[in-house]
A and B are shown apart, each in its own frame.
Chain A
Amino acid sequence: AAAAAAAAPPKPRKTKIHFVPVGSAPLMKKTKFAIASDQRFSSVTNFLRKMLKLSGTGGSLFLYINCFVPSPDQLVGDLDECFSVRGELVVHYSFQEAWG
């Protein structure tokens, strides 16, 4: 199956992201978003900062998938393939370091 997938031309995909707050981080009205799979993870971070109105401040924001922080240059689509659960990529976010 994996080999068959390799032969197909890449088509524009979306990754479903489910944001989950940790600790003192606020719960957003909307928690589920679809993002183009060819984006880098830095785009997810920037997006969440905007949603939480942190863009102009120096406020720290930590994003986790499972218990790790993805590298900002990782492809959303790759993270989706490796770490999604039931079709969505769960991203935990926190103002403090949650998993050291």
Chain B
Amino acid sequence: QYAPVVLGGDRAGGMIVRAAPPDDDLDGSGQAAAASRSRARSGSNASADQLQTSRRRSESVGGGAAADEGGSHKEAEQENDGSAVPVCWFEDESSGLALRWHLFTGTLFDLSSKRNISKGNGLGNGSGNSNTALPWKLRVHFTSYPTNQILAFDISGSSVMPTIQRHYMNSLKQALFLQHGSTQVAMNICKADHRKLWDAVVSSNYHLYGEINAELQADVRQNGGKNGSSSTDGGGGDGTGNEGIRNIPVRVLVDSKPAVQRLCPPFWGNTDADSAKSAVAATLGDVLLLFSPNLFERKRRQVSSSKEEAEESDNDTDKVDKQPKCLETSIIPTESLVWVVQGIAEIPLSFPIGQIWSTLCSPDHFLYVSVITR
């Protein structure tokens, strides 16, 4: 019933479109010639992706002049307001990696390799490390766009900022669907609010963002109110009013790999044998274990509560072993690594993910957890 899709090429999850031939030695004078060289090469392959990439490069790099080369190409398209943002990309100087423009800057900073993160300290001031975390040194490039590392800009011909805006809105819509379990909230955002939200994000206008966001979150809080905050059924929740939420939008980023995004209900069935509750709030550790099972594991250990009693009352040695042993589980990393959320390193893995999400999620409503392996 379902025909198998046979795909050529890279199965390793390489990013999008084939790379256009890189421009090597470009300075101001070489730009026009190089741009036309890549157009000529891509023309013979007849690949839409390569054509678009090289055309965009000539638009940004050479402006109108380069487009005249060969005579058969359209003039570079201008933004309506005349201020075209050139296609460029940023390199993290310490790692040499291209920065993924579709991720928030804070998340990218958390992932950058030169952060020397000590427990509880987000800024990185480890001794003996000559590279301090700030200022973060970036190099901006206008050529040799690395399509094998970062997403190419929209191939449908639109320009830089609208592409980024579209990406942000789509991410937000995904998160809203996960939160509410339906497309309704996302679909109901009117065009004016789309614009306001984006303007708020671009200008870091928290007040404006909060106005629109209040409506986006309204359903979640309403449901929380209807269900009440009673904790008798074990589903009383994490006390942040998240009772109405369907799934918590979380993305886990490990080093430079693309994000992992899986279903994260706020309450999970408890796997501990002797726990009375049927559902407990999902923790950060639960999420990391599910999203990155190679990097985390569940460790069970027996804890005898009678041990403490025996230590307290020295003379009552026959009290030992009368109390039942408890089974404690904790989630721990399987290798040396660090997890960071909004610059905060190593939030305890026992924290409810719902609380972390409601306080630390990004403007697209996703909580981004960065995991840096050493």
Question: Which residues of A lie under 8 Å from residue B174 when comparing CB positions?
Answer: 68, 70, 82
User: Are B173 and A10 within 8 A (Cβ)?
Assistant: no
Minimum CB distance partner of B46 in chain A:
A56
Q: Which of A32, A39, A57, A83 contacts B13 (CB 8 A)?
A: A39
A59 located at the interface, meaning its Cβ lies under 8 Å from any Cβ of chain B in the complex: yes
Q: Contacts A33-B2, A67-B183, A68-B186 hold; do A73 and B15 have CB atoms under 8 A apart?
A: yes
User: Are B48 and A58 within 8 A (Cβ)?
Assistant: yes
How many interface residues does A have (CB within 8 Å)? 48
Cα–Cα distance between A16 and B286 once the two chains are bound (Å): 27
Q: Which of B156, B271, B293 contacts A10 (CB 8 A)?
A: B293
User: Are A47 and B258 within 8 A (Cβ)?
Assistant: no
Minimum CB distance partner of B15 in chain A:
A73
Question: Which residues of A lie under 8 Å from residue B13 when comparing CB positions?
Answer: 38-40, 73, 75
Question: Which residues of A lie under 8 Å from residue B269 when comparing CB positions?
Answer: 1-3
Q: Contacts A3-B268, A32-B1, A47-B7 hold; do A58 and B290 have CB atoms under 8 A apart?
A: no
Q: Contacts A67-B186, A68-B173, A70-B170 hold; do A33 and B261 have CB atoms under 8 A apart?
A: no
Q: Contacts A7-B293, A58-B52, A66-B183 hold; do A32 and B260 have CB atoms under 8 A apart?
A: no
A69 located at the interface, meaning its Cβ lies under 8 Å from any Cβ of chain B in the complex: yes
Determine chain A's interface SS by DSSP, over half rule. Answer: mixed
Q: Which of B48, B151, B265 contacts A59 (CB 8 A)?
A: B48
Q: Which of A54, A82, A99 contacts B262 (CB 8 A)?
A: A82
Question: Which residues of A lie under 8 Å from residue B102 when comparing CB positions?
Answer: 71
A60 located at the interface, meaning its Cβ lies under 8 Å from any Cβ of chain B in the complex: yes
Q: Mark B50-61, 1 if CB is under 8 A from A, else 0.
A: 011000000000
User: Are A46 and B7 within 8 A (Cβ)?
Assistant: yes
User: Are A34 and B16 within 8 A (Cβ)?
Assistant: no
Question: Which residues of B lie under 8 Å from residue A40 when comparing CB positions?
Answer: 13-16, 258
Cα–Cα distance between A57 and B156 once the two chains are bound (Å): 11
Question: Which residues of B lie under 8 Å from residue A72 when comparing CB positions?
Answer: 15-16, 151
B26 located at the interface, meaning its Cβ lies under 8 Å from any Cβ of chain A in the complex: no
Cα–Cα distance between A22 and B139 once the two chains are bound (Å): 42
User: Are B194 and A100 within 8 A (Cβ)?
Assistant: yes
Q: Mark A52-87, 1 if CB is under 8 A from B, else 0.
A: 001111111010001111111111001001110000
Question: Chain B interface residue count: which class?
Answer: 35 or more
Interface members, chain B 137-180 (any A CB < 8 Å): 151, 155-157, 166-167, 169-171, 173-174, 177-178
Q: Mark B221-233, 1 if CB is under 8 A from A, else 0.
A: 0000000000000
Interface members, chain A 4-44 (any B CB < 8 Å): 4-7, 10, 14, 16-17, 30, 32-36, 38-40, 42-43
B298 located at the interface, meaning its Cβ lies under 8 Å from any Cβ of chain A in the complex: yes
User: Are A71 and B187 within 8 A (Cβ)?
Assistant: no
User: Are A38 and B261 within 8 A (Cβ)?
Assistant: no
Interface members, chain B 249-286 (any A CB < 8 Å): 258-263, 265, 268-269, 271, 286
User: Are B173 and A67 within 8 A (Cβ)?
Assistant: yes
Cα–Cα distance between A81 and B291 once the two chains are bound (Å): 12
Cα–Cα distance between A100 and B162 once the two chains are bound (Å): 11
Minimum CB distance partner of B172 in chain A:
A68
Cα–Cα distance between A14 and B3 once the two chains are bound (Å): 11
Question: Which residues of B lie under 8 Å from residue A99 when comparing CB positions?
Answer: 187
Minimum CB distance partner of A59 in chain B:
B48
Closest 9 CB pairs of A and B: A60-B156, A68-B173, A34-B2, A73-B258, A35-B5, A68-B170, A42-B16, A6-B290, A72-B16
Q: Which B residues have a C-beta under 8 Å from some C-beta of A?
A: 1-5, 7, 11, 13-17, 46-48, 51-52, 102, 151, 155-157, 166-167, 169-171, 173-174, 177-178, 183, 186-187, 191, 194, 247, 258-263, 265, 268-269, 271, 286, 289-290, 293, 298
* Between-chain CB contacts (< 8 Å), 15 pairs: A2-B286, A4-B271, A32-B2, A33-B2, A34-B3, A38-B13, A43-B7, A58-B155, A66-B177, A67-B173, A67-B187, A68-B170, A70-B174, A71-B151, A72-B151
